[in-house]
Chains A and B, each alone.
Chain A
């Protein structure tokens, strides 16, 4: 009987031990974010809680103590969750790098807050791009229009939310 109790108590101790050592990303720590464009820095080592990025391999959320990684970004929404509330920026594409010292740097060519976009402009640009993509231009022209249409479609769905 007593040996059984000893066994259960060691088992319990073993579980608490593993829980303490688990290395998942944690919400308690702050992540230092730098969101940088060639002409200005929107965030410069600002402490944030979480950043959601549109990676080429799929959307992902980055918390503090994330495993170091490099992710290419699609044109899409970067959502920054601070203690004050979330902020959304649309980025044109670039790279996000998670550094080992709890830093996240996002380098993109262009970015702007969602409220700076005009839905009418996006719609008319999308129509134009789709027309060129379906037309009989050169392969380069059509591919260019297809890339643009992807950006506008992504913008449109971001603005519709």
Chain B
């Protein structure tokens, strides 16, 4: 059972899933602090000729899976 995930996920993704499972099992107060660590947010915008382009948010997927 242990390594069937290898066909689907990378090790980094696997480590992320186990870490998130651990955080969600903590007691209320520790969990509030810990879950902030689990969230990585990234938003980028390309600038050209002094004008900002469209903002692209890359965190949608992460928010969905952590919620």
**Which residues of A does B touch, CB under 8 Å?**
39, 56, 74-75, 90-94, 109-112, 116-118, 121-122, 125, 129, 139-140, 143-144, 146-148, 150-152, 155
Q: A112-B30, A118-B28, A121-B26 are in contact. Are A148 and B21 (CB under 8 A)?
A: yes
Secondary structure of the B side of the interface? Answer: helix
Task: For the complex, count residues of B whose C-beta is within 8 A of A.
Answer: 26
Taking the complex as formed, is B43 at the interface, i.e. its CB lies under 8 A from any CB of chain A? no
The CA-CA distance from A123 to B9 in the complex, in Å, is 25
**Which residues of B does A touch, CB under 8 Å?**
1-2, 4-5, 8-9, 14-28, 30-31, 34, 37, 65
The CA-CA distance from A161 to B16 in the complex, in Å, is 27
Q: List 26 A-B contacts (CB under 8 A).
A: A75-B22, A91-B22, A92-B15, A92-B18, A92-B22, A93-B18, A93-B19, A109-B18, A109-B19, A110-B18, A110-B19, A110-B37, A111-B22, A116-B30, A117-B27, A118-B25, A118-B26, A125-B25, A129-B21, A140-B8, A146-B4, A147-B21, A150-B1, A151-B21, A152-B25, A155-B25
